[in-house]
Structure 1
Amino acid sequence: MLCLFFFACKEKRQENGLWEEKEETREKVAVPASFTADSARQLAVKLDSVFKHFHKRRGFNGTVLVTKYDQVIYKNAFGMADFYRRDSLTVNTAFQLASVSKQFTAMAIMMLKEDGKLSYEDSVQQYFPAFPYHGITIRQLLTHQSGLSNYTYFSDKLWPDRNKNLTNQDVVNLMVQHQPKPYFKPNTRFDYSNTGYSLLASIVEKVSEKPFATFLRERIFEPLEMKHTFTYSPDVATLTGKIATGHTRFRQKRTSDYLDTVLGDKGIYSTVEDLYKWDQALYTQKLVKRETLHEAFTGTRQEKRKDEDYGFGWRIKPLENGDTAVYHGGLWHGFSSYLLRNPKEHSALIILSNLPNGSFSYLQELRHFLYPVHPDSVAKLSKQGKLAARL
C-alpha cells in the first residue's frame, strides 16, 4: 500500500507572491520496497524499447519524460524538430502545449483568488461590463459550464482581416458587438470551451494589470525556473534554436495564423523537463496553498460519466489499477501534447509531439503498462498482442 504524508506548517507570502516553502510542507509519498534502483533501470529499458517501436513503426515524432515516485525514470527525444531543415529534437526542445496550457491559466486564476483580488463566483460583467451574456461566473469558465460558443468558429465568420492577428480583447469585442448565439444556458452542463479559457486570460490581465504573458512569466515560469517556457507571440515564427515546428500529418510545415495570438486556451511553449518542474511544484505550496490546489483536482461535472470528470484546467480519470489521474491533452496547429499525473505515487507521463499523425493512439497501452491492475498485467497484455513484445 502507498500512502501520502502531509505536514502542517504555517507559511508566509513573499513579495513575489510565492509562498515561502519549507521542506516539511512538501507532499510526501511512501516508496514501496519493490521500487529499487534496479527496478527503475529495468522500467527505463522497457520504456526505451516501447518508444523506439512507436517511433519506428507508428511514426511517433516528439519527446517523452516518465517519472515514478518523484524520480525521472526515462526521457528521450525521437525524430525532427523541423523536417525541412532536418533539425533533430532534444529533450530541451520547446513545443506548443495547445490545451495543456489551460492548467496554467487556471493556476493564474487560483493565485489571484488567493491574493484576494477575485472570487470564483464573480460574474464576467464585473470585468467587462458590456459583456452580453449574463449569469456566467469565473467558476463556470474554469469548469467549461459557461455555454459560450467557440471563438475559433465564430471568429472565422466575424473577423474581417485574416492577415491581422486576433487578440484576447478582440475576442471580447466580437462577442460584445455580434453576440454569437451561445450553445446553452450557463451552469446547465459541461461543454469544453476554448472561449472560456481565453476569457479567463483576459480577466487575469484586468485584475493583475499586466499582460497575461507577463503574469505567467513573473508568477510561475521564473519562480519555478522553467527557463524554456514562454507564451506565443508573432516573433516565435522567426526564432531558431530549440523550438519545434508544427507539421501536418504529411510532414508539411504548419504556418501560424490569426488565431495563434489568442492566449489562455493554448499558446504556451514548454519542454518535457520544464513540465517536470511544473509537476513537482504541484506537490508543494510554492504557488498556491494545498487546499486551493485540491479544488482544481476535484470533479465538477453535473452529468457524471463513468470514465472522466473535470476540475480547474485538469481532466480527472480513474486508471486501470484503481488510482485517480489528473491529466490533459492538447492538439493545435501541428502539435500534440499530453501530461498525466498520478498523485498517489507521484508519477507522471509527459509526451510532446510536432507531428499529429495519430501516433498518440498508443496512450491507453502506455497507461496499462505503467499502471497495471495486477503485477502480471504486462504479461497478459503481451499475450493479447499489445506493446508488441517490446517488453
Structure 2
Amino acid sequence: MEEDCELHVEAPETFTPTVATKLGKQVDSLFTQLHKRKGFNGTVLVTKYDQIIYRGAFGYADFKTKDTLSTQTVFQLASVSKQFTAVAVMMLKEQGKLSYDDSLQVYIPDFPYRGITIRQLLTHRSGLPNYTYFSDELWPDRKVDLSNDDVLSMMAVHKPNIYYQPDRTFSYSNTGYALLASVVEKASGQPFAEFMREHIFEPLKMHSTYTFNHELVAQSGKVASGHIGGRRKRLPDYQDTVLGDKGMYSTVEDLYKWDQALYTQKLVKRETLEEAFSPTGKVNKRDESYGYGWRIKQLESGDTVVYHGGLWHGFNTYFLRNPNDHSSIIVLSNLTNGSLNYMKDVRNFMYPARPKSEQRQVQVASAR
C-alpha cells in the first residue's frame, strides 16, 4: 500500500493567511461566548484545507485543583472511540483475517445470539441489548472492573432479551462496538489495547492516545477529570474498563493527526474508507445516516459531513470532518452541562447555507 498517497484538496487563492487568521478569530469568539454563557469547559481544534486555523482551551482539567486545560490535555473520547474500533476492523478485513459478513460465532463460538454479522455491529443493526444497562443488574460487585470477556460471559449465561431482530432497524449499540473489540482480539491474536497501540496510535505518532487503564487515567494534570452537574467530579467506575464502544483517551492535537491520516492510505485503502463513509440507512427519524463508526449528514451548505459525538461519565465530545474542504471541528469537554448542544451554531458558521443551485454544484464536485 502506498502510505504517502494523499488525497489533496487545493485551497482556493481566496483562502489567504489573512482570511485564515480572521476565521480563527471568529471561531475563538464563538467558543469564548460558549464558555461565558453556556459554561463550555474543554479544548478545541478547528481546521480548513488541512490547516489548523484555531486551537484553544477553556477552563479546568479539574475544578477542585484548578488545573487549567491546554490543547495537550488528554480526555476520554466516549463514543468518538467507535471510529477507531471500526478502522481496526477494516484493517483486519484488508488483511483477510475477517469478513464483514462473518457471523459472530466464527470468532466467539459460544455467543448465544444467532444471525448477527460484523457488518451489523458496525452499523448498529444487531438489535442486541445494551451492556451498560444489563450489567447494572447482572454484575455482582461494582468495585470489580468489568472486561469485554465479562460482557461476553454475562450474555452467554443470562441471555438478556434482544431489542430487535438482526438487521430490522438502526438501534445505537454500545454492546455492538464492545463486541467488535473482542472480534479484533480474536482475529488479530492480540489484546485490543495492544493492537490499537501497535497498528494505529504509534504509526500515526499519536503519543498522547491510549485505551483506558487506571494508571494512565490517574495522571494528575495531564488527563482531564470528568465532571457532571454542579461541577462534581465523576470518578471512573466498573464499566470504564470495557473497550471498543468508548475507552479511548486522546487530545485535540492527536485527533488532528488522526483526521489527516484518514486522507491518506496509511491505515487502510481509500476504497475501504469510502465504504465506511457510505450511508447504510436512515438513523431512526433523524435526517442522517450511519456508516462504520461515523454518522453521515448533509448540511444546509450542501456539504456531506461525517461526524460523531460522545457522552460518558463526565465527558462530552464532538468530532466532525468535511471532506469537501478538508475541514474539521474537534471539541473535547470534561463537563457534561449541555454546552455541546450548541455545536450547530459552530457548524452553521463554518458551513453557511448556500442557495440550492450552489448546493447541487458542491454535490457534483464531491462525487467526482
TM over 0.5: yes
2:230 is paired with a residue whose SS is coil
CA distance in 2, matches of 1:304, 1:163: 36
1:361 is paired with a residue whose SS is helix
Change (3 A) 1:176 1:304: closer
Unaligned stretches of 5+ in structure 2?
356-368
Aligned amino acid, residue 332 of structure 2: L
Aligned amino acid, residue 3 of structure 2: E
Change (3 A) 1:56 1:302: closer
Aligned amino acid, residue 35 of structure 2: H
* C-alpha deviation, 1:303, in angstroms: 7.0
What does residue range 90-101 of structure 1 map to in structure 2 within 5 Å?
Answer: 90-101=70-81
Paired position in structure 1 for 2:40: 60
CA distance in 2, matches of 1:355, 1:170: 29
8 Å contact 2:282–2:288 — kept in the other structure? no
Paired position in structure 2 for 1:70: 50
Paired position in structure 1 for 2:241: 261
Paired position in structure 2 for 1:358: 338
CA distance in 1, matches of 2:29, 2:89: 41
Paired position in structure 2 for 1:34: 14
Aligned amino acid, residue 121 of structure 2: L
Paired position in structure 2 for 1:51: 31
Instruction: Say whether residues 1:123 and 2:128 are aligned partners.
Output: no
Change (3 A) 1:183 1:50: same
* C-alpha deviation, 1:30, in angstroms: 2.5
* C-alpha deviation, 1:237, in angstroms: 4.3
Pick from 336, 349, 353 the counterpart of residue 329 of structure 2.
349
Paired residue total:
355
Aligned amino acid, residue 81 of structure 1: A
Paired position in structure 2 for 1:383: none
Aligned amino acid, residue 51 of structure 1: F
Paired position in structure 2 for 1:369: 349
CA distance in 1, matches of 2:286, 2:76: 31
Q: What's the Cα RMSD here? A: 1.3
1:247 is paired with a residue whose SS is strand
2:152 is paired with a residue whose SS is helix
Pick from 172, 176, 193 the counterpart of residue 192 of structure 1.
172
Instruction: Say whether residues 1:300 and 2:312 are aligned partners.
Output: no
* C-alpha deviation, 1:34, in angstroms: 2.0
What does residue range 165-314 of structure 1 map to in structure 2 within 5 Å?
Answer: 165-301=145-281, 307-314=287-294
CA distance in 1, matches of 2:191, 2:299: 38
Instruction: Say whether residues 1:21 and 2:20 are aligned partners.
Output: no
Change (3 A) 1:306 1:125: same
Deviations 1:219-262 (A, max 9, x none): 00000000110110122343223110001121111111110000
* C-alpha deviation, 1:190, in angstroms: 0.4
CA distance in 2, matches of 1:48, 1:130: 52
* C-alpha deviation, 1:49, in angstroms: 1.4
* C-alpha deviation, 1:208, in angstroms: 1.0
Deviations 1:321-365 (A, max 9, x none): 000000000000000000000001100000000001011121111
Paired position in structure 2 for 1:132: 112
8 Å contact 2:300–2:354 — kept in the other structure? no
Instruction: Say whether residues 1:155 and 2:135 are aligned partners.
Output: yes
Which deviates the most, 269-278 or 241-250? 241-250
Change (3 A) 1:176 1:92: same
CA distance in 2, matches of 1:334, 1:70: 30
* C-alpha deviation, 1:180, in angstroms: 0.2
8 Å contact 2:170–2:284 — kept in the other structure? no
CA distance in 1, matches of 2:306, 2:183: 25
Aligned amino acid, residue 260 of structure 2: Q
Unaligned stretches of 5+ in structure 1?
1-10, 12-19, 376-391
Change (3 A) 1:303 1:247: closer
Change (3 A) 1:306 1:61: closer
CA distance in 2, matches of 1:374, 1:120: 38
TM-score, normalisation: structure 2: 0.94
* C-alpha deviation, 1:319, in angstroms: 1.1
1:65 is paired with a residue whose SS is strand
1:331 is paired with a residue whose SS is strand
1:101 is paired with a residue whose SS is helix
Deviations 1:4-63 (A, max 9, x none): xxxxxxx3xxxxxxxx423xx210112222211111111111111111111111111000
CA distance in 2, matches of 1:135, 1:155: 23
Aligned amino acid, residue 21 of structure 1: E
* C-alpha deviation, 1:306, in angstroms: 6.2
Aligned amino acid, residue 35 of structure 1: F
CA distance in 2, matches of 1:73, 1:305: 34
Aligned amino acid, residue 74 of structure 2: A
CA distance in 1, matches of 2:217, 2:291: 33
Aligned amino acid, residue 200 of structure 2: I
CA distance in 1, matches of 2:243, 2:284: 29
CA distance in 1, matches of 2:354, 2:122: 36
Instruction: Say whether residues 1:332 and 2:312 are aligned partners.
Output: yes
Q: Which runs of at least 4 in structure 1 moved beyond 3 Å after TM superposition? A: 302-306
1:294 is paired with a residue whose SS is helix
TM-score, normalisation: structure 1: 0.89
